[in-house]
Amino acid sequence: MRSVLDILDAACRAAFESMGFPAEIGAVRESDRPDIAPFQCNGAMAAAGIAKKRGEKVNPREIAAKAVEILSGNSDIAAIEIAGPGFINLSPSEYLITTRAKALAADAKVGLTAVESPLTVVVDYGGANVAKPMHVGHLRSAVIGEAIKRMLRAQGHTVIGDVHMGDWGLQMGHLISELQSEQPDLPYFDPDITDGYPSEPPVTMDDLARLYPLASNKAKADKARMEASRIATAELQAGRPGYRALLDHFIDVSVAALKIGYGNLGVEFDLWKGEACVDPLIPDMIKGLKAKGITEEDDGALIIRVEDEDESKTVPPVMLLASSGAVLYHTTDLATLVDRKAEIDPDLILYVVDQRQALHFEQVFRAAVKAGWYDREQMVHLGFGTMNGKDGKPFKTREGGVLRLEDLLDIMNAAAARRLSDSGIGADFDAAERAEIARKVGLAALKFADLQNARLTNYVFDPERFTAFEGKTGPYLLYAAVRIKSILRKAADQGVAMGDILVTEPAEQQLVLALDSFDRAVTAASDKYAPHLICDHVYRLAQSFSRFYTDCPILVDGTPEAVKSSRLRLAETTLRQLEMGLDILGIQAPERM
């Protein structure tokens, strides 16, 4: 069944068409003044403009009056009124709202529809670097990328999430050379040994986390130490077997740790690829690019020029090979495009990466177009702003060090636990359940606070505000979901069953109209890659439910059985949609709290 808005929209378009105007101008939308009427049509103003051009003299109010006359017999419309210069306010009939409510309740997807032509989409997000600690950019990428992946999936697209780890840069040379100075006798460093290396990794994640900053700090102060890392990187990239074997160990150890870290965040990748795994494709890729005649030698480096023909926008060239012969960030991203074409042949690739990398992607995309691999629209960089500390700078942990995901989650957990005990929530649950609830609340708080901003906005990390149960927060939404779960449990205890929906009260109507807008919200969010529109929707839904629950008691004595059953069905439908919306955002509600 179509949405209430779609049905009113079709009726208004038909009315304007029958008056000799283009149907589009009769479009109906949600009203700016829902207190007056839920929907409005502003077509009369545009129609008057068209009429004037035709030399007719009519004012918008007259046109609106005529439209109202045409629509007056429509059984889907309860009230239709003209306001101001010719706005038409529309209220749907009880019948239409009830019919829609029943359809939503019966629908496993609670109104969500799939697109007609699903695409194959790669979402490149996460982007953690092997051994290097994560920063807020990686956190935001994981949270936003996960939501974008889920919302495109909800729309019926085939979506493949790829973590695209950073595992091919200088950090590898740092690790190799530092490990060598600690354990020079490992077989990986013996140039005479070229295979048969141990299958057990020589390092743990803690070792990697220790070795990298050690090496990187030494190298900053000591040129010779830096040179050792450079040489190790170059030898690794040139294929030295012992170093390749070490790299594989580093990657395995890191992936195992990252799986846990991302897992705690509720972020799951389909592909655990990275920069290193496309390295074998680079020689052929470069040969091909040279053969196309789009590369140039520039001061010993190999580049592709990507500036505009008219040079209106200066975009520096893509660096394929540095003068040292080293492979660069541009090169691995181009090789990844080659790999994705061969392995997946996607219609669309979305890069959820810090806005500060916008130029990098612009360069890479232009080169890929120049190479004839993809059309420009097939590659989209979805940038985002930073999560700042109270000082307005990108958030760091209290010691001023870089962010560790675990620390951040601990901070959120603690804030959530404090909040829960302050509000006496879960006081009679056992410790394990209380901890699990705090974890869910903390995570929901963090994710919702992140996702509810328009992507490019910077925001301030404020665990106290994020974990509040009032206002537009994750915990508020979890609380709304949990409250409905508890109502449903209570109803089951009292033997009240769900039944046929009958919508009469204003609060019931506005709840159904909120439910009605789910599909629109997900579509708009997907079209604009804007998860905050889904946040807006779930928040509106939770608020509508709250009003409904205040005005329309469900389980109290005196409510007729049929009304109880109808309202219970509405509550259950709301819960399903709320949880589906939260799930798209990567947020899970506890069973009770």
Of the candidates 124, 178, 508, 579, which one interacts with ligand ARG according to CB under 6 A?
A: 124
Tell me how far, at minimum, the Cβ of 179 lies from ligand ARG, in Å.
21
Tell me how far, at minimum, the Cβ of 380 lies from ligand ARG, in Å.
12
Tell me how far, at minimum, the Cβ of 339 lies from ligand ARG, in Å.
11
CB nearer ligand ARG, residue 212 or residue 351: 351
Inter-residue contact 439 to 411 (CB < 8 Å): no
Residue 41 β-bridge partners? 28, 88
CB nearer ligand ARG, residue 28 or residue 379: 379
Inter-residue contact 252 to 143 (CB < 8 Å): no
Edge to edge, the sheet with strand 295-298 lists: 295-298, 301-304, 318-321
Residues 252-281: x where in contact with ligand ARG by CB under 6 A, - otherwise, as a string: ------------------------------
CA distances from 261 to 258, 410, 422 (A): 5, 12, 29
Tell me how far, at minimum, the Cβ of 361 lies from ligand ARG, in Å.
7
Residue 295 β-bridge partners? 304
Of the candidates 157, 164, 532, 537, which one interacts with ligand ARG according to CB under 6 A?
A: 164
Q: Where are the alpha helices (DSSP H) in 58-200?
A: 60-71, 94-106, 136-154, 170-182
- Identity at 4, one-letter amino acid code: V
Tell me how far, at minimum, the Cβ of 73 lies from ligand ARG, in Å.
58
CB nearer ligand ARG, residue 244 or residue 330: 330
Of the candidates 127, 463, 474, 590, which one interacts with ligand ARG according to CB under 6 A?
A: 127
Report the C-alpha gap between 409 and 466 in whole angstroms. 13
Residues 166-185: x where in contact with ligand ARG by CB under 6 A, - otherwise, as a string: x-------------------
Tell me how far, at minimum, the Cβ of 290 lies from ligand ARG, in Å.
23
- Under rule CB under 6 A, which residues in 208-247 are in contact with ligand ARG? none
Is residue 129 involved in binding ligand ARG (CB under 6 A)? yes
Is residue 333 involved in binding ligand ARG (CB under 6 A)? yes
Inter-residue contact 572 to 485 (CB < 8 Å): no
Residues 89-108: x where in contact with ligand ARG by CB under 6 A, - otherwise, as a string: --------------------
Q: Phi first, then psi: what are they for 209, rounded to 5°?
A: -65, -25
Report CA dihedral (509, 511, 515, 520) to the nearest 10 degrees: 80
Inter-residue contact 415 to 468 (CB < 8 Å): no
527 class by beta-carbon count within 10 Å (0-12 exposed, 13-18 middle, 19+ buried): exposed
3-class secondary structure per residue, 266-305: CCCCCECCECHHHHHHHHHHHHHHHHCCCEEEECCEEEEC
Tell me how far, at minimum, the Cβ of 135 lies from ligand ARG, in Å.
8
Residues 348-377: x where in contact with ligand ARG by CB under 6 A, - otherwise, as a string: ---x-x------------------------
> Is residue 349 helix, strand or coil?
strand
Candidates 17-25, 124-132, 338-346, 559-567; binding stretch for ligand ARG (CB under 6 A): 124-132
Tell me, by CB under 6 A, how many residues bind ligand ARG.
Answer: 8
User: Which residues of the shown chain bind ligand ARG in the complex (CB under 6 A)?
Assistant: 124, 127, 129, 164, 166, 333, 351, 353
